[in-house]
């Protein structure tokens, strides 16, 4: 499972080990489980610091509602911005020869997973400030 938090940019996925192309771009298709809304985008892949294929790839995916969406063309600048909603998603990653190709083929799947997106603005823990330790669960 991949977790994407609002304000967090790096998401790991094992894509390059399954790729058949020499220098592929990775097209992400995320479908929300409850609403069936889908987002298709090509995120910026953070270049690994090793010469061999790493165990996983890091992708820069920003969730920022104050900026416009950038779904393709950001593979060199790292500014992929997707307006995802909270919840779980089905993720399918495809390899493509160019960053502008947004129509995947079924034989180019390199990774599948579940993604949890958390975009709530308030991340502070819930605190209890009352003077009693009696909690009413149900009162008829």
3-state secondary structure of 110: strand
Number of domains in the chain: 1
Q: Is there a domain that residue 34 lies in? A: yes
Q: Is there a domain that residue 93 lies in? A: yes
Q: pTM of the entire structure?
A: 0.78
Domain that holds residue 64: 2-118
Q: CB-based contacts of 113: which residues, under 8 Å, 6+ apart?
A: 1, 2, 13, 91
Q: Is there a domain that residue 138 lies in? A: no
The answer to whether residue 89 scores a pLDDT higher than 70 is yes
3-state secondary structure of 16: helix
Q: Using H for helix, E for strand and C for coil, what is the string for 4-15?
A: EECCCCEEEECC
pLDDT digits (tens, 9 = 90+) for 11-67: 889 888 888 888 888 999 999 999 999 999 988 888 888 777 778 888 888 888 888
Q: Is there a domain that residue 95 lies in? A: yes
Q: Is there a domain that residue 125 lies in? A: no
> Length of the chain, please?
140
pLDDT digits (tens, 9 = 90+) for 102-118: 777 777 899 999 999 98
Can you tell me which residue has the tokens 């009413």? Answer: 136
Q: Is there a domain that residue 139 lies in? A: no
Q: Is there a domain that residue 9 lies in? A: yes
* Position 98 confidence tier, pLDDT thresholds 50, 70, 90: confident
Q: CATH number of the domain that 83 lies in? A: 2.60.40
Burial of 118 (0-12, 13-18, 19+ CB in 10 A): middle
**What is residue 7's predicted lDDT score, i.e. its pLDDT?**
75
Q: Is there a domain that residue 123 lies in? A: no
DSSP symbol at 126: P
């Amino acid at each position: 499972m991949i977790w994407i938090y609002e304000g967090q940019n790096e998401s790991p996925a094992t894509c390059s080990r399954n790729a058949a192309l020499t220098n592929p771009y990775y097209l992400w298709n995320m479908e929300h489980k409850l609403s069936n809304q889908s987002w298709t985008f090509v995120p910026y892949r953070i270049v690994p610091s090793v010469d061999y294929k790493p165990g996983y790839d890091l992708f820069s995916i920003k969730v920022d509602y104050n900026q416009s969406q950038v779904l393709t063309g950001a593979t060199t600048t790292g500014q992929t911005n997707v307006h995802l909603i909270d919840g779980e998603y089905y993720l399918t990653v495809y390899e493509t020869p160019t960053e502008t190709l947004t129509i995947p083929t079924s034989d180019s799947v390199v990774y599948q997973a579940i993604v949890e997106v958390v975009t709530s603005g308030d991340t502070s823990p819930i605190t209890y400030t009352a003077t009693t330790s009696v909690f009413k669960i149900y009162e008829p």
